Chain A
Amino acid sequence: MTPYQPRTLPDPGQAFPIKLSIRDFNLSFGQTPILKSIDLDVIANHVTALIGPSGCGKSTLLRSLNRLNDLSTECRVSGQIHLDNQDIYAPSMNIADLRRRIGMVFQLPNPFPKSIYENVAYGLRIQGIRSRRRLDTAIEHALTRAALWDEVKDRLNTNAYELSGGQQQRLVIARALAVEPEVLLLDEPASALDPISTLKIEELITELKHNYTIIIVTHNMQQAARVSDYTAYLHQGTLIEYGETQQLFTNPRKRATENYITGRFVE
């Protein structure tokens, strides 16, 4: 199968700028290549879904965008990723600032063992914001946008671990939103949640894309079809196909994509 080589946007005529542009990106752990020559443009204020069988590198690609892979000493990268025309792998890049601009939500909710308030305030405090008034405003704003405010506004000082799984995941989203990122990375955000919580998270994603660029990794193809505008299909570290979600799901250009989305793919 030949990898998909887009040099242009999936939809050249649209009005939104390119938020992230990935060019010829390779990544390996030790001797094992994980991502091979990825080219991908992410359009601002849309939801882009990364799908593919497990081990295809979609989570790694997501974690490359905020350089979380750097934590592993074995990790080697080549190629470029630009965030608004700024190379994020440039030596001059401030990683902490990059991670503030690109928020991330993980597969399992990982609130800090602090109060709900302190969880959301954490990122702001890191940024040096001390004023109680500013914190209060920002926290209310973030929790409201994460659709959690009404549920927790009376118990902001209780420990975050006392929330339900779905609430915790929304708290984590609120925590990410509080530092006003430009991009939101979601790594299978609903995989550990019950259907009702999942639905809430999906509604939230649709809501949030007006303000943020969202990239979501998901195992669940229905979810990808429901929430995303664009979808990229990865297989064994290679980007096979990238296009508008509707088009990719109804009329895939590649045989491999079709096999995967129709479930004929054998993992």
Chain B
Amino acid sequence: MKINRTSTTFVSLAGLGITLLIAFITMFIMILIMSDTPKDTMYYFLAGPFTNKYYFGNMLNAAIPLMLTGLGISFAFRASMFNLGGEGQVYIGGLAAASVCLALPDLTGIIGIPLSLAAAISAGAAVAGLSGYFKFKWRTDELISSFLISNALIFIVDNIITGVLQDPESSLLTSHKIAEQYWFLKIFPPSNLDISIVFIVLLAFLAYFYLFKTHQGYEMRICGLNSEFARYGGLDVRKYFLLPMVLSGGFHGLAGGVTVMGTQHMLFKGFSGGMGWNGIAVALIAKNNPIGVIPAALFFAYLEAGAKSAMINADITIEIASVVQAVVFYLITAQAIYSFVQRRRRTA
């Protein structure tokens, strides 16, 4: 039997379509039950993000960290490494970037911006790398260790933000504002969208090139597909316990840094909440393809923006988005859906 590429792409796209359809139906049912004005609520949910420049730009802006966390998870998943510590890695990346900005308020942007982004990347990479190192050294399960380390870190970063870094003038739990030369250029006023989106889309293509067109990327994928085979082929399998975790953490740390310097210009307690988990969903929708991460992140940003618009203008709460996300999570790996599509196609 001839299996061609377009047919497998069709099956995975159709499977994805069914998954998203079920997710939206779930949302409609919840809105019908819970909202007093279901028609308005649905309108704001579906169309809200497109009604003005501010909402639309902010939606695109919200996709930036999701692209980065999605890329980070794709790298880990391609190598069959489970990085569940994304939440903490984003958070500590934000802390590292903000610390550099706050410690060096007079540095010029040309040196300061790369320096603080490098700090964000290193912080995330070090934290995820620790789980990778435990696995490398003693085969400690990285799935649980990365989650536990991240959760411990979240509380510690909370403490630093509300303690050492807390702005005493502010009534919010936040640090001082970072100096203006660290702010990223806004490209779509009045929204928060900044120039970093261009670089991050480029980065996604670069990541694709690395994974699929370089020797190291190939080795990493082989280790992920079948580590026994890779070992037999003479690859240093243990190296690919460590490297993908470091890369994955680096992307997460960068997501934190970019959010602080591009959008918030200060460090809020809990600012990264959900970015790590959503990165996993984004990577799954994208089937761990770095370029696919771009539309998948936009879709997730749309869901959140829609829920936010419905919350502001109608009578439901924003957490309805996580219910929809959960449905996507549930079904995205369900093979039965894909084989259903395949069967239908064969009989058609």
On whether the two chains bind one another, the answer is: no
